[in-house]
Structure 1
Amino acid sequence: MTSVEEILQQHNLKNTRIRQAVLSLLIDADEGLSHQDLSKSLDMDFDRVTLFRTLHAFEESGILHKIIDPNGTAKYAYTLPDKDKNKHSHAHFICLNCGQVVCLDETFLLNEIKVPKGFIKQTIDVQVKGICVKCN
């Protein structure tokens, strides 16, 4: 697997302690993490703005993707490298009880989605909502 430092370098992002720590947490997580989740998990001094800027830089570079849960909270998940970047999207399971967001393996190809004539496709956002195993 590629190291955190290599991922930052591949995306032309400055290698800082906060970026290393946030990226490590996202890679190791098996569910989407909110700003608050990340804040609680980081074992270092930082300010909220730095974390927001880090998340924004990661989203802009394609390192992570953002999912909005039913409460309107942004959850962030690591985006696995893909040769056909931005040409497919995977589904997300969102628990209606606890708000947990989990990336699913199911993918959808952008070029297979039909839209009306004259419309331009850019992204796909598929959400499966229900009750997670912890809440069941």
Structure 2
Amino acid sequence: MSSEDAKPVKKEEDGDEKSLTSILESRKKKPTNANAKPKELKKKKKKKKGEEKKEEVQQNGKKREKKVYDLPGQKRDRPEGRDPPRIFYETLYKQVPKSEMAQFWMMESGLLPFDKAKEVFEKKRKRNQQ
């Protein structure tokens, strides 16, 4: 009797194994070409106030977009209001307005007005040439 009971169990297991393997095969990732790039052309958007320009730059044979900022000497996006380095450099700049460290950081972050950023940019360029 135990052999009769075992046969139906094996048949159910075989059925389960087939369905499991078919499920696993259907879940396998199909190989895709990771290097393929879509051939869509990006349309240029109209520039809004405060939005930076982007240039395409080739580096190691690959194209990447480089941001171009309106303020002279700006290298990065403006930090958020509660960003710790921003708080530090703004307070340093308020307390010691002639601090080159604070001036350079604020210029590179786009936190100085245009005319002041231009002066600091010239100052930094002269300092780097020496």
TM interval, shorter chain, is under 0.3
Structure whose residues are more often helix by fraction: 2
Greater relative contact order: 1 or 2 (C-alpha under 8 angstroms, separation 6 or more)? 1
Normalising by the residue count of structure 1, what TM-score does the alignment of the two structures yield?
Answer: 0.22
Structure whose residues are more often strand by fraction: 1
